[in-house]
Structures are given as structure tokens and as C-alpha cells.
Amino acid sequence: MDAVATRAFESLCSDGVAFHPALLDEARCRQLLDAVGWARDHPTASYRCLSPSGEARLESDLFRWRDVPAIRDLVTDEALLQFARAYLGTDDPVVLEDQWFWSERGSRTDSPWHQDDPYHPLDRPFLTIWIPLTPVPPGLGLRGVVGSHDGPIYAPVEFSAGERTLTGSAWATTPVPDVDAHPDEYVVTDSARDAGDAVLLDSRTLHSAGGECASDFVRLSIRYAHPETTRSPRPWPTASFWESYEWETGERLPATGFPRSSVLAATAAAR
Ligand SMILES: O=C(O)CCC(=O)C(=O)O
């Protein structure tokens, strides 16, 4: 790791959230923006419009490493994997998920305060790397609560005003606190400004992003897990896509849906 990456890694370890400037260059961001534009025109079953009907849209879709080469190249890029290896303590992280978010100009829908952890029935935390592909509208970048990865796990929040992203019915945990209403209680980071900047997040860190956008605002989240991660049921709803996997408590992540990064990198190299 170079000095900038080392600083970011140290912040990630101590604070649960860290900023890395210019992780991707402009050309790469343009290429990925085109790729997400293509993915947006070719949605999968995981696609959701998260904003209320009739309003300028916030849209999202998942797992596009499967059919979008530029996204597959990104999830196996050393610039990202160096953090996943070091933070998760493994030579070969699993690619858990990629997710794009596209706020149209005029969209007012934000991604509310939440942790990534409770959406997934997994026995250990994972890492998210969030990267804007367009300039970040002021104040709308990913904001994270310093140190919240060491605190409680809160209930997942349904992001979608339309078709749900969560499946399940029991709710057995504390709601997410209103971070914005209590500025004295929370130290909040908000650093990403430019396309290609990155925010690194422990999956237990409280964070939010988005809001009222004066221009299109496009970003990608890439999530990595330790290869020994196993299924651990949650007493609350989790992301709907988990329903499509038949795997038992205590079993490792199914390799068909969640490949090791070395396997994906080898298939990308063979293309
Ligand atoms: O960019 C966004 O709107 C939300 C990103 C986020 O919260 C996540 O990927 O976990």
C-alpha cells in the first residue's frame, strides 16, 4: 500500500469509515459511467426505483459483475482489493455485491441513515467501498458516523418507496437513530467531492448519502466478504435476493453467487 492508502486503511481500522482521494482516474470513471448507463438500460430482477412514483428517480441495481465487463474489472481491481485483503484478513476476498445508484437531476430521494450489516444474514462484518462516478453534489456524498462500527446493530431501513428491497416480517431490534437531529452526539465524515474518490466502510458503520440533486449523481458500492463467512439468520427482514439461495445456517457463501476475487480475476483475464 502506498502512503495515501495506508492512511485511509488506518482510519478505516480506527473509525470504521475512511476517505481515499482519487482511487480511480477520470477515464476509468467515464468508462464505468457508460457501463452503469448500459446496466440501467438493461435492468435485472434486483433493479428497484427507490424514489416515490412520479418524482425524479433514484434507481439502483445489484450484481452487475455478472454481465458488465467494466464492473467485473472494477471488483477485481487491485486498488480496491488491497483494502479488502487487509481489512478482512484474507488473501482472497469474496465479491459479495456490487450496487449502482443513479439519482436523476431533480431527484430528492436520499439513502437514509443505515448500516449495511443487518441487510445480510452473515456471521461477520464485511467491507463496502463507495465510489462516485460523477462529481458529488455538495453535502450529498456518503457520510459516515465515526466509531459507529463499534456500537449497536440497528434495524434495517427499507430504502424503496415502491417495490420492497427487504423480505421478512419479524422486527426485533432498535431503530436507527436520527443522526442529523443530534449533531452533538455523532461525529460525521463527509469527504468525497470528485468522481473517483472513495469512501471505505465497515458494514456496521452508520452512513447515509444522496438527497436533492441539481444534476445526475451516479455512484457504485462494491462489497467484499471473508471467504469463511457463513449464513447466520437474522431476526429481522434481510435483502430480498437472499431468498433465491438455498443454503443452511453455518454454510459458507454459495460460490455461484459470491465468487472469490481470484476466480473472477482469472475469468476476466481469460476474456
Ligand atoms: O449512494 C447511496 O445513495 C447509498 C450508498 C450506500 O449506502 C451503500 O452502498 O451502502
The residues, any chain, with a CB within 8 Å of residue 170's CB and separated by 6 or more, are: 235, 236, 237
Contact 199 CB / ligand 1 (< 6 Å): no
Q: What angle do CA 134, 101, 198 make, to 5 degrees?
A: 55
Residues 249 and 123: their CA atoms lie apart, in Å, by: 9
CA of 190 to the centre of ligand 1 (A): 13
Does residue 50 have a pLDDT over 70?
yes
For the segment 100-115, the average pLDDT, to the nearest whole number, is 94
The residues, any chain, with a CB within 8 Å of residue 73's CB and separated by 6 or more, are: 268
Q: Which of 36, 221, 223, 224 to mutate to test the pocket of ligand 1 (most atoms within 8 A of CB)?
A: 221
H-run or E-run covering 60: strand 58-62
Q: Which has more confidence, 249 or 175?
A: 249
Which of the four CATH numbers 3.40.50.150, 2.60.120.560, 3.50.50.60, 2.60.120.620 does domain 3-270 have?
2.60.120.620
Model pLDDT, residue 237: 84
For the segment 176-198, the average pLDDT, to the nearest whole number, is 90
* pTM for this prediction: 0.94
Model pLDDT, residue 37: 98
For the segment 221-225, the average pLDDT, to the nearest whole number, is 98
CA of 142 to the centre of ligand 1 (A): 7
Per-residue model confidence as pLDDT tens digits over 8-36: 999 999 999 999 999 999 999 999 999 99
